[in-house]
Amino acid sequence: MRKVIEVTHCDACDKKGEEREATTALSVAGESWDLCNEHGLKFRDYFVALFNTEMTTAQSA
């Protein structure tokens, strides 16, 4: 029996020539990006600041 494991890499790291495993996905208006934990947190913080929301509000949405 053979098992195939597919690893998805972070799109942001890939642009810098690095290979890091994606742990989260970001989707906005039909566009999607796979992100590592570091980039996922950066985008989360960006959107929290952009929409002037608190972290607890953003996490529950």
Question: Which pair of structure tokens corresponds to residue 30?
Answer: 């039909």
Q: Which residues contact 58 (CB under 8 A, 6 or more apart)?
A: 44, 47, 48, 51
pTM of the model: 0.71
pLDDT tens digits in sequence order for the chain, 61 residues long: 999 988 999 999 999 999 999 999 999 999 999 999 999 999 999 988 998 866 555 555 5
CA distance to 10, 22, 44, 46, per residue, from 18 (Å): 9, 12, 21, 22
